[in-house]
């Protein structure tokens, strides 16, 4: 089976692994998508534990909120079919939804039969979490196209992500390395996707991508941390944080925002000044109608720079 985005085809060289049953591509959030080959077992062997974590049942109707060429959504669909559940795009009747945080925030309040919400793709923010009714089981998991499932938690029951049983992790200079039986063929040994993390026993705290780290006068500011704070401010629908070159400090933080129209940018900036450190506080602010996103729903920071959103 070969699944890819026709609008952003990855460049392939050579023949795939002869044992591969699936050819997919990374999301391309930091550049051009990369092709990946997977065996059936690399996903199917994790399905039983994923079922235990999420609580999804064969009687559920599972809503997929993104395209199947995005591995997060393809994994969700194949897991549901393996379990015997129904896969649907009819959110009004669905009992389970898989979504990135930005989409979950929009769809969860309009799903009357929802009992389980599974969120992944980017770290769960407080606004997305609060959009889910208390009666709904909210599950967050961390993974990557190359590595599949790495860790998960039930929000409200577990404060941190917990590693899946057969997954091993270590850190090197703050970067997370993973060895997993669920990895793609090209990532079977210790593999890193560039995320910064802390490991505490079997608990995992992910801080964001190392290539999203902004060096402000010697202080490392993680773009995802800035974005989570900005999205928590009233009036902000979505946010992207980008490093901008600075002659003295090396870099400063610039913010690109989607606003809901209820508050002016000046008010949002004042709120940000009250809660953010001086290093993390954006010095440049830009408002756009819609932030560019990958097919899986992640903010495409590279596309913002390419479009000159901060010019």
Dump pLDDT digits (tens) for 255-304.
999 999 999 999 999 999 999 999 999 999 999 999 988 777 778 877 77
Least confident interval from 76-80, 211-215, 289-293? 211-215
Q: What is the mean pLDDT of residues 205-230?
A: 85
Least confident interval from 50-54, 129-133, 183-187? 183-187
Range among 123-127, 227-231, 304-308 with highest mean pLDDT value:
227-231
Provide, rounded to the nearest whole percent, the portion of the chain with pLDDT above 90. Answer: 59
Mean pLDDT score across all residues of the chain: 87
What domains lie within the chain, and their CATH numbers?
22-209 (3.40.50.12780), 217-307 (3.30.300.30)
Confidence (pTM): 0.75
pLDDT per position as a tens digit, 105-143: 999 999 999 999 999 988 898 889 999 999 999 999 999
Question: In this predicted structure, what is the pLDDT of residue 69?
Answer: 80
Q: DSSP for the chain?
A: -B---TTSPPP--SPPPTT-SEEEE---TTSS--EEEE-SHHHHHHHHHHHHHH---TT-EEEE-S-TTSHHHHHHHHHHHHHTPEEES-TTT-SEEEE-HHHHHHHGGG-TT--EEEE-SSPPPHHHHHTS-TTSEEEEEEEETTTEEEEEEETTT-SSEEE-TT-EEEEETTEEEEE-TTS-GGGSSSB--SEEEEEETTEEEEEEEGGGEEEETTEEEEHHHHHHHHHTSTTEEEEEEEEEEETTTEEEEEEEEEE-SSS-HHHHHHHHHHHS-TTTS-SEEEE-SS--B-TTS-B-HHHHHHHTTT-
**Is the confidence at residue 211, as pLDDT, over 80?**
no
pLDDT classification of 153: cutoffs 50, 70, 90? very high
Question: In this predicted structure, what is the pLDDT of residue 17?
Answer: 55
**Is the confidence at residue 11, as pLDDT, over 70?**
no
Question: In this predicted structure, what is the pLDDT of residue 30?
Answer: 44
């Amino acid at each position: 089976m070969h699944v890819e985005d026709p609008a952003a085809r990855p460049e392939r060289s050579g023949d795939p692994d002869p044992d591969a049953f699936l050819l997919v591509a990374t999301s391309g959030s930091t550049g051009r998508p990369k092709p990946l080959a997977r065996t059936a077992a690399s996903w199917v062997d994790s399905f039983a534990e994923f079922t235990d974590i999420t609580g999804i049942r064969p009687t559920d109707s599972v809503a997929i909120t993104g395209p199947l060429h995005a591995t997060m959504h393809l994994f969700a669909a194949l897991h549901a079919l393996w379990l015997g559940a129904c896969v649907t795009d009819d959110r009004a009747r669905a009992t389970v939804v898989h979504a990135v945080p930005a989409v979950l925030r929009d769809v969860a309040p309009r799903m009357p039969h929802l009992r389980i919400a599974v969120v992944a793709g980017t770290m769960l923010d407080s606004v997305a979490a609060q959009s889910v009714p208390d009666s709904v089981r909210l599950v967050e998991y961390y993974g990557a196209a190359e590595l599949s499932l790495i860790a998960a938690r039930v929000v409200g029951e577990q404060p941190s992500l917990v590693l899946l049983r057969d997954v091993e992790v270590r850190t090197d200079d703050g970067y997370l390395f993973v060895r997993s039986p669920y990895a793609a063929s090209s990532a079977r040994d210790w593999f890193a996707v560039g995320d910064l993390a802390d490991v505490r026993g079997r608990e995992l705290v992910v801080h964001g991508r190392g290539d999203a780290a902004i060096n402000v006068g010697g202080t490392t500011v993680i773009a995802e941390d800035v974005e989570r704070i900005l999205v928590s401010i009233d009036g902000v629908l979505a946010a992207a944080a980008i490093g901008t070159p600075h002659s003295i400090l090396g870099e400063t933080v610039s913010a690109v925002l989607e606003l809901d129209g209820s508050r002016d940018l000046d008010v949002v900036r004042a709120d940000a000044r009250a809660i953010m450190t001086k290093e993390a506080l954006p010095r440049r602010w830009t408002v756009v109608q819609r932030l560019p996103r990958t097919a899986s729903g992640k903010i495409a920071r590279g596309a913002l720079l390419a479009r000159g959103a901060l010019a």
